[in-house]
Amino acid sequence: MNSSKGLFGKLALFGLPVVAISTLFTPAANAEYPCGSAGPGEVVVGSTQGGGGVASVLLCDTDPNYQDYQDYSESGDSSYYDPEFAALEFQSAAALLQLQQQADLLQDPDYLRYLSGGWTLFPSVQSEATPGEYCLASFFKASMDPAANNAPVMVNFSGPGGDYEGALLTFAADAIPKPETMQMISVTLIQNDYPPTTVQAFNYSVPDLPFGVISFAVPTIDAALDGMEDVQSFDVQIAGRSVARTTWHSGLQVRDEFRKCLDGQPYSVTNIDIVPERLKTAQP
């Protein structure tokens, strides 16, 4: 008899109209309603109490924070503001602007010369020098060290003058120490794929200039010229830390021009770079 009564209760319940069942399960004080799961714009707020052979049912309510973005955009209301989309638009515009600026810079011959490096040849750095003395070739280029953020490195190749019969290979860079007075320090020089060489070199600073200088003495100018290669990389290190990294180009052309200066003859050219001529002629 009890089982028949329970079965009747189940059948009676499922025989009720849907509206009646919803009314039965929904608390009167809230807008909650039975649901299988939360759909768009809904949130699960609880469940009915199961028992008597009736399973518990989830209760849903409308989500007060829900916005139908599709309907909103289709409504044509321009007052809607999505901060994430706005930030993405700003980032995209900034990236496009940066690309455009870089593209413009790559059409600037002066900037290309700075990135790829260029030579400037001087007949003499001293007005009272006799022909063939104090010849100087200077190579200026953005650093190859990523940590240097394209800070420049300058390499000077200078010949004999006065009582000095050798040559000097000089590096100037922001990372090189800037002592108040000139001193001799231990420096390691790595060239191309040759083994590192550690020697004593001059270290000094130039007043009112933001970089330090390291100068290597070469016994003879002939030895210095014979050691020049067309493409030559340099890594100057102090105590295992790189302070100047660069690579020059056109070394053989500079060597030939330098010999003209040593012979007291004028240079054929005083500026050497690898910037395309079409960009130079297009410069206003």
Mean pLDDT: which of 4-13, 27-36, 136-145 is highest? Answer: 136-145
| CA nearest to 119, candidates 275, 271, 280, 276 | 271
Alpha carbons 119 and 171: distance in angstroms, whole number: 14
Non-local (6+) Cβ contacts of 273 within 8 A are 113, 116, 117, 118, 119, 250
Q: How far is CA 249 from the centre of its chain?
A: 25
pLDDT band at 205 (very low <50, low <70, confident <90, very high): very high
Taking CA atoms, 141 is separated from 26, 50, 228, 234, 242, in Å, by 78, 80, 18, 12, 16
Q: What is the mean pLDDT of residues 238-266?
A: 94
Is the predicted pLDDT of residue 212 greater than 80, yes or no?
A: yes
Higher per-residue confidence, 72 vs 176: 176
Instruction: State the residue for tokens 């309603």.
Output: 33
Higher per-residue confidence, 59 vs 217: 217
Is the predicted pLDDT of residue 20 greater than 60, yes or no?
A: no
Non-local (6+) Cβ contacts of 53 within 8 A are 6, 9, 10
Contact between 190 and 196 (Cβ < 8 Å)? yes
Q: What is the mean pLDDT of residues 36-40?
A: 70
Buried b / exposed e over 18-50, threshold 16 CB at 10 Å, is eeeeeeebeeeeeebbbbeeeeeeeeebebbee
